A and B are shown apart, each in its own frame.
Chain A
């Protein structure tokens, strides 16, 4: 099993550009999450999904969109990149809320 995979690992965007961060898991988990981690700060939940076709906002959803068309994939879309979105983004999945979460390796995004 590959676990949770994320692409790309690194990306530099110009202000106003768009991009999609990809996340795939092969553990047949229903629950998937997107987090961002800013330097010296705790992880913050952007969006989460409890199954295909179901998504919900987390703590910091502004500027992002998600979709969940399959159990395996949970892409995160940035429509108009802003410097405040410079961060490390982690995707995670779990069997349910009360089970441990498995994290992807992260995507380091810089917006200049």
Chain B
């Protein structure tokens, strides 16, 4: 079992829909990252959070430390949001390295 599990693995939505991508982890963490990997392969950091909620434009990330769960929400989805979304955790014990989920492939159709 992976230490970081994402669901769903693949998600297809229509433009304008509200999207939720989930991330569950099994270890104690000091921080959680959400990353976006574009179709061309480039990786961009979206959020880093250790508690509560963060918002940037149409993207919202939440984390529940007690439940070991985080969600990434996209409001009013657009075809340009089509990408792989990756969750990664900074483990308390390792202190130094991120453990990555396998990613969620999102396709938003016009």
Which residues on A are within 8 Å of B, measured CB to CB?
33, 40-45, 48, 50, 56, 58-59, 88, 90, 92, 97-103, 105-106, 108
Partner of A103 from B42, B99, B101, B102 at Cβ < 8 Å: B42
A101 CB, min distance to chain B CBs, angstroms = 6
Q: Which residue of A lies closest to B101 (CB)?
A: A42
Give CA–CA (A101, B47) in the complex, Å.
Answer: 10
Question: B106 at interface (Cβ–Cβ under 8 A)?
Answer: no
Q: Most A CB atoms within 10 A — which of B35, B45, B97?
A: B97
Question: Given the interface contacts A40-B102, A41-B102, does A97 sit within 8 Å of B42 by beta carbon?
Answer: no
Chain B residues lying within 8 Å of A105, measured Cβ to Cβ, are: 41-42
Interface residues of B in 74-110 (CB under 8 A from A): 86, 88, 90, 95-103
Chain B residues lying within 8 Å of A100, measured Cβ to Cβ, are: 33, 45, 48
Chain B residues lying within 8 Å of A56, measured Cβ to Cβ, are: 96
Question: Given the interface contacts A45-B98, A90-B43, A105-B42, does A97 sit within 8 Å of B90 by beta carbon?
Answer: yes
Partner of B86 from A43, A50, A97 at Cβ < 8 Å: A43
Partner of A106 from B42, B45, B101, B102 at Cβ < 8 Å: B42
Question: B63 at interface (Cβ–Cβ under 8 A)?
Answer: no
Contact A42 B100 (CB under 8 A): yes
Chain A residues lying within 8 Å of B44, measured Cβ to Cβ, are: 103
Question: Given the interface contacts A41-B102, A42-B102, A43-B86, does A59 sit within 8 Å of B43 by beta carbon?
Answer: no
Give CA–CA (A2, B86) in the complex, Å.
Answer: 24
Chain B residues lying within 8 Å of A90, measured Cβ to Cβ, are: 43
Contact B97 A106 (CB under 8 A): no
17 A-B pairs (CB sep. < 8 Å): A42-B88, A42-B99, A43-B86, A43-B88, A48-B96, A48-B97, A92-B43, A98-B31, A98-B48, A98-B90, A100-B48, A101-B98, A103-B35, A103-B44, A106-B41, A106-B43, A108-B41
Chain A residues lying within 8 Å of B41, measured Cβ to Cβ, are: 88, 105-106, 108
Chain A residues lying within 8 Å of B86, measured Cβ to Cβ, are: 42-43
Give CA–CA (A97, B89) in the complex, Å.
Answer: 11
